[in-house]
Every structure is written in C-alpha cells, then in structure tokens.
Structure 1
Amino acid sequence: MRTLAAATAALAIVGAVSGPGSATAAPTPPTPLDTLTACSAQTRADPPVLLIHGTNATVEASLGPVRQALLDDGRCVYGLDYDSRGSVAASAAYFAASAERIAELNAVDAIDVVGKSQGALIARAASLEFTGRANPMRSVVAISGPHYGVEPAGINLAPLAAAVPPGTSALLDLMAGSPYLAKLNSGPMVAPGVRYTMIGSRDDQIVTPYTSAFIDAPGVTNIVLQDGCPQDHAGHLAESTDPRTVDLVLHALDPDRHPTVRCTPNEDRK
C-alpha cells in the first residue's frame, strides 16, 4: 500500500492526476489524423501552430490564453487530444506524424509547435523524429518542460514501476533518470534547423528543479520568467494563464509582430 501511495503522490506531482479516482480513469484517445482539415484561406499568411497540452489536461487548460492570442493574430491553430498518461515515446511519434499531416494538408514546408509541461517535452522529442527526412517543424516553444526529468522531493522512486497503474507509463518516463529520458538525451538534444525557445519559472513547484526546463544547445533560447520581471512568481500551473508567459510565446513565434513582453506581478505560485 505504501508503494501505491508513493505512486499516487508522484502522479500528483507531475500532474497526472487531478482528483480522486482519476488515476484509473480511461485514457483519452488521440485525435484521428484523418479528421484534421486544412486551415481557412484567411489564416494562410503565417505557418500553422500545433499546441500540445500537459499531463491529464486539455489544450484549453494548458494553453487556452496562448491559443486565443494566436487566433487573435489570425493564425491557424491545431489543438489535438492524446493519451498523456501513456508512453511519451508513443506521444512523440504521434505528434511528429501530426506535424507532417498538418504541413501536408496546408501545402506548407513548416509549422510552429508550442507545448506545456509534458507537452513541451513531447514537442522537443517529436522534433527529433525526423532523422533522414524533411522536418516540418520551424520552431518549438516549450513551457516548463521536464527535459531532464522531475525530481520530486521525499519520494522513493524505486518501487514505482511495480505500483503504477497500467497505462500510466508517462509517470515513469517523466522521472529524472528514467530509461526513456536517458535514451532521448543520449544523442543530440535538438534537431538541426529548428528554432527552440525554452521558458521556465524559478517558482515552478512541479517540474523540479526548474532548470530541467532548459537546454544548453545551439539554436536554443532559454528564458527564465523572472529575468527582467522579478515580481512575476507564476508557478507551473499558473504559467498557463500568466500574461508574461503568453507574451513570451508570441514574441518567440513572431518578434516583429510582438516586440513587447509585459511584466505583470503574479503571486500565483501553484
């Protein structure tokens, strides 16, 4: 029972449960790619944007204000469902195929990708899936992604493999030192020709340490939310609606259209 309690606690830390009983809820099926449609003619001036939500969340919960700001810009935005409790490797393959499908539907060479939390890690992992073929990803914006894994304080991770409910392998994949992350990070951390922006908060209490959100590699811009705005203490969940975070995403995708990033006080450290 103690190992199951530890597993449940770890699930809560990485955001894989949102309430009692949700650890055994049915997984969310991925959006079928054959149901996607092309962008409207009015949104063709800029590359389409693919949004990837976090664990046990939705695009609205993870990236709702970002999506609305992009729509206000006249961008074409895709937000797909996926099983965020399943294998991260499988999710990365799914979103790589999604990126190819979106580019094909719209007859474009490149799309932009924005991910939050697990979705940020998946966005980077998906960008690495294109060895030997054209990469449709122009830029990746990753908000508080556990690129080096999560180190939840006070939890013994050793018994988790036996205790985690079936279908929740993302829990283990997201932990620091997991076999998945060891394999993913054993080669190049980023794909050539892709522009990466990594955003993280010193007040993140879920992706710990917060430096796991950053990567030191060519073509990567790392941004700490508090740099230049020390009064913004938005935590991991609060980043989803934090005005500065939204502006940093817009600036990363189109600095000419969005040269200014707001500095708004935020004490929501959750």
Structure 2
Amino acid sequence: MKRIASLIALTTLLSGCATHQPLDPALFTIEQGRLPPADITLNIPGLGPCTDNPDRSLHLDSSQSVNVLVHGCFGSSGEFRGLAQVLAFHGQQAACFTYDDRNKLTRSATELRDAINQLADQTHIPKITVIGHSQGALIARKSLTELPLTSPPVRRPDLRLVTISGPFSGIASANTCGKTWLYPLTLGLLPASCYLVTGAKWEDITYSSRFILEPGVLVPQVSSYLKIDTDERGSCRREKDGRCVESDDIFSLAEQRSPLHKTDVRTRRVEVHAGHVEIVGDKHVAPTKLIAVLQEQGVLNPTRPERLSAFSTLLAQIYQANGF
C-alpha cells in the first residue's frame, strides 16, 4: 500500500504547469496598436481573441496574416493578452486557441487544425503562424502534421510554426505513468490515478507514449518551423524576502529536445536561458527575450527606432515592468 500511495503522490507532479490565475474583467480587451481595421467577424469553435472575455467573436482584417497563439496547461487565452498587444503594436493580428486541458492532446490538435482550416476558408489570409507554449507547443506541432481531419481545408495558406518550451521527449515527472509493467502491480490504480490528475491526456505526455514516439511529419504547407528551447536552470518565478519561493524551472533541455524533430530541414532551433513562464511573460515580467528571438527570426516585425520609447512604455504598462 505504501508503494501505491507513493505512486499516487507522484502523479501530482504531472502537470508541470503554471498555476491557473483567476479571470480579471479589466483584461477583457486589448489595445489595437497599429492593427488594420477589422472587416470581418468570425465565430470559430476554439478560436477567439487573446483575452478571457466570454465573447469569443474574432474581429479581423480578412486579407492580413494572423498569428494563432496556443497556451499551455492550466492556461487560458488571457495569458497571451500581453503578447497579442505586442503583436498589435507592430501591426500584426493575433487570435488565441482555447481547449479542454484534460482531453487527449491529439484531440486538441485536431480541433486546432480544424479551427485553422475554418479561418483560412472564411478569409483571404495569406499566412497563418501557429505559436504554442509548453503543452501548447505539443498541440501546435501535432496540429500541423497529417492528422485525420473532420473538415479538410479548401484554401491552403502558407503555414509557419513556432514552439516554445515544449516537452517533446515527454514530461519526466510522468515517467512512472509510462511504465506499463507497473499497472498490474498497482492493481490498475496507477493509470487510474494518472487519469484522475490530468485527464485523458496523461497517455500522451509520457516518454513511452505514441504521441511522443511518433510525432508525425509536418504538412508541406509549413514553410518554416522555429523551435525555441529554454534553459530554465536557476530560474525563479516568485521571490520573497530575497529568496525563491517558486521555481520557474519546469522542463529540462532533455525534456524539450527530440531527435525525431531534427531531420526536417525546415526546423531552426534556438536556445534561450529563461524561465518557463518568464519566456512568454507574466504580470510582472515582460517577455523581452522572446521578443528579441521572434524579431531576429522574422516572426515579429522589427520595432522602428522612432517607436522604441513608445514600445518601452507599452511593455511597462502591460507587464508592470521597468521598460524594454
């Protein structure tokens, strides 16, 4: 019984995610920045504005490219509100994908791809960039492989993929759940406990899962894949009295790397020393390292010299930071 109890306790480590934050109605809108005027309103399942506003209607310029952002576990579209405002400042549109965190990752990826296809079919958008963080990185990449789709695309715009801090080799703390030989020894309690903690997705996040071992090949429409890995060692999410009380070291580089992704010539890998949440920003830390990488790699438009001061002010307002 002690062994079973310890296995159950271990499953509490499976999430490896940021703590879910309560919704703030004051954050239901974003500044429009230099976005082109919207000429279309869309209602696509799973796709909406990058806020936690219950109104999920998406207002876009139907002729301009769109960045689709995919949050991690225990997350929401509102987590990317700041990044959406950074994009808007540079004249780039954003939409956010929301999904059931307890579903199998392949199901969420299929829903994302269906949403992308609907977005393409209902507009004249020339390019869609899918940007996923953490668990969202796994979903984002899988969505752009040869999945069996419920609604195959009519239009085929250029696709671009960006993943950030994705555990593509499986989550280390989920290793026990991937050891199938333990199932009979725990009288079936181990897989039941894994499901209880994370839902159906637990089968996809272990090192031995089919999702990890057979990631699939990116579809031909993907012109480039930027894979951003974070060296999170020594990072801290929250300090108190000069000491770290919450680490921001969630996934090791070994968890993020996968030899199965190296063979695609469209892949460019960039390594950044940053914490797991730090890289995409939170209420107090601006994602300056991510902004720099995205601009260097041509995903985010460059900031014009005459607008640097205004951009610094924007970041300070969004992230309560000390400027850029």
TM-score (norm 2): 0.62
Q: Which moved more, 1:211-220 or 1:49-58?
A: 211-220
Counterpart for residue 48 of structure 1: 66
The question of whether the paired residues in 2 share the 8 Å contact of 1:197 and 1:220 is answered with yes
- Distance in 1, Cα, partners of 2:77 & 2:61: 20
- Distance in 2, Cα, partners of 1:259 & 1:151: 42
Partner amino acid for 1:224? Answer: E
* 2:187 pairs with 1:192: no
The question of whether the paired residues in 1 share the 8 Å contact of 2:231 and 2:252 is answered with no
The question of whether the paired residues in 2 share the 8 Å contact of 1:55 and 1:118 is answered with yes
* 2:200 pairs with 1:181: no
Q: Choose the corresponding residue for 2:288, options 227, 243, 252.
A: 243
Residue deviations 1:128-178 (CA, integer Å, cap 9, x gap) = 13688665452111001122212239x633354221245612233122221
- Distance in 1, Cα, partners of 2:275 & 2:192: 31
Quote the offset at 1:78 in angstroms.
0.7
Aligned residues: 233
- Distance in 1, Cα, partners of 2:113 & 2:164: 18
- The aligned runs of 1:151-166 (5 Å cut-off) are 151-152=172-173, 156-157=176-177, 158=179, 160-166=190-196
Quote the offset at 1:96 in angstroms.
0.2
- Distance in 2, Cα, partners of 1:67 & 1:87: 27
Residue deviations 1:63-104 (CA, integer Å, cap 9, x gap) = 343222111122221113211221100000010011111112
Question: Structure 1 regions of 5+ residues with no counterpart?
Answer: 20-29, 226-232, 261-270
* 2:168 pairs with 1:138: no
Larger radius of gyration between Structure 1 and Structure 2 = 2
Q: Secondary structure at the match of 1:106?
A: coil
The question of whether the paired residues in 1 share the 8 Å contact of 2:14 and 2:171 is answered with no
Quote the offset at 1:39 in angstroms.
0.8
**Cα 1:94–1:163, aligned 2, differ >3 Å: closer, same or farther?**
same
Counterpart for residue 234 of structure 1: 274
**Cα 1:182–1:210, aligned 2, differ >3 Å: closer, same or farther?**
closer
The question of whether the paired residues in 2 share the 8 Å contact of 1:103 and 1:136 is answered with yes
The question of whether the paired residues in 2 share the 8 Å contact of 1:52 and 1:123 is answered with yes
The question of whether the paired residues in 1 share the 8 Å contact of 2:295 and 2:301 is answered with no
Quote the offset at 1:212 in angstroms.
2.1
Counterpart for residue 88 of structure 1: 105
Give the structure, 1 or 2, with the largest relative contact order (CA under 8 Å, sep 6 or more).
Answer: 1
Counterpart for residue 230 of structure 1: none
Q: Secondary structure at the match of 1:5?
A: helix
Q: Secondary structure at the match of 1:78?
A: strand
Counterpart for residue 263 of structure 1: none
* 2:11 pairs with 1:7: yes
Counterpart for residue 250 of structure 2: 206
The question of whether the paired residues in 2 share the 8 Å contact of 1:141 and 1:252 is answered with no
Q: Choose the corresponding residue for 1:257, options 286, 302, 311.
A: 302
The question of whether the paired residues in 2 share the 8 Å contact of 1:203 and 1:235 is answered with yes
**Cα 1:192–1:250, aligned 2, differ >3 Å: closer, same or farther?**
same
**Cα 1:251–1:209, aligned 2, differ >3 Å: closer, same or farther?**
closer
* 2:90 pairs with 1:70: no
The percent identity for this pair of structures is 22
Partner amino acid for 2:9? Answer: A
- The aligned runs of 1:166-177 (5 Å cut-off) are 166=196, 168-177=199-208
Quote the offset at 1:213 in angstroms.
4.4
Q: Secondary structure at the match of 1:113?
A: strand
Question: Structure 2 regions of 5+ residues with no counterpart?
Answer: 22-44, 49-55, 184-189, 234-248, 282-286, 306-324
Q: Secondary structure at the match of 1:77?
A: strand
Root-mean-square deviation (CA), in Å?
3.2
**Cα 1:84–1:180, aligned 2, differ >3 Å: closer, same or farther?**
same
Quote the offset at 1:223 in angstroms.
0.1
Partner amino acid for 1:164? Answer: C
**Cα 1:6–1:255, aligned 2, differ >3 Å: closer, same or farther?**
closer
Q: Secondary structure at the match of 1:200?
A: strand
